[in-house]
Amino acid sequence: MRGRILGASMRAATGAACIALVVGAAACSRRHSAGESSAENSQSPIPMPAPVEPMSPPVPYPRSVPTPPVQHNYDFREGSAYGYVAGLSEEERRTGRAAGDVLMFRYRGMQNGRHVVEQLTPDGRSAGMSSCADPCHAIRSGSGSNVHLTAYNPASIIGSVFEDAIAGRLVVAPTRVRRPPDPVPADTEQPSE
C-alpha cells in the first residue's frame, strides 16, 4: 500500500511539474501520458489536463506619472518682476568676484504679434523694452531711431527671458495707469502777477 501511495504522489508531482512548464508543455504531457515517469506504474493513472496555451504578455495599466516641475530660467521673482543672474567669466572669477549681476525684467505680454519684455533699473524704473516674435530669431531692443537687433540665443540673459516668455512661464505684469495730478480747488487763491 505504501508503494502505491508513493507512486501516485510521484506521478502527481511529475504531472504538476509538467503543467507548470509553459515552454514544451505538449512534449511533457506526451511523455507523461505515455507512461514515462520515474515512479512505479500503478493501477489508477492520474489524468493529464489539456495542454496549456502560452499566455499573452499582460497589458500594463496606465500609471499616473508625476509631471516634472516647470523648468524656468529666472532665478527669482519679486512681484511682477523676474530676476536673472548673469554668469561669471573666468576673468571675473580671477579678480575675486563671487556673484554675477542681477538683471530684472517684467513681461508685458504680446503686442503686435511680438512678446515684449521691459528691463528694469535696480530701483525698479524702466530701462528699455525688447521684443521678439514667436518663433524668435532676432530680438529687437530700443525705440525710435535707436533700435538694434540681437540674434536670439537662449543661453544669453535676454534670450532666456524670451524663452520663458514664449513658453508661457512668465505672467503678464499689470499696467500702471498714470493718475492725472489732482486738480487745484477753485476756492484757493492763485498767486497774482
For 133-184, how does the pLDDT look when each residue is reduced to its tens digit (9 = 90+)?
999 999 999 877 889 999 999 999 999 999 999 999 999 999 875 555 666 6
Q: Is the dihedral of CA 147, 152, 153, 158 positive or negative?
A: positive
The tally of domains found in the chain comes to: 2
42 and 82 assigned to the same domain = no
pLDDT of residue 37: 47
- Indicate whether 81 and 154 sit together in one domain: yes
Output the pLDDT for position 3: 47
Indicate whether 64 belongs to any domain: no
Residue 127 lies in a domain: yes
Which 3 state secondary structure label does DSSP give 17?
helix
Residue 112 has pLDDT above 70, yes or no: yes
Q: What are phi and psi of 14, to 5 degrees?
A: -65, -40
The predicted pLDDT at position 143 comes to 75
More confident residue, 93 or 26: 93
Judge whether 171 lies within some domain.
no
Which residue from 13, 18, 11, 17 is spatially nearest to 40, judged by alpha carbons? 11
Averaged pLDDT of the chain = 76
Q: Is residue 188 situated within a structural domain? A: no
Considering the domain architecture, whether residues 46 and 86 belong to the same structural domain is answered as no
In terms of Cα–Cα distance, which of 103, 128, 102 is closest to 117? 128
Q: Can you tell me the mean pLDDT for 16-40?
A: 46
Residue-level length of the chain: 193
Domain hosting 23: range is: 1-52
Same domain, residue pair 93 and 160? yes
pLDDT tens column, 125-138 = 999 999 999 999 99
Q: What is the pLDDT of residues 33-81, one digit of tens each?
A: 445 444 444 455 677 777 777 777 766 666 666 766 669 999 999 999 9
Sign of the dihedral through C-alpha 8, 13, 17, 19: positive
Percent of the chain with pLDDT over 70: 60
| Exposure string for 144-175, b = 16+ CB within 10 A, e = fewer | eeeeeeeebeeebbbbbbbbbbbeebbeebee
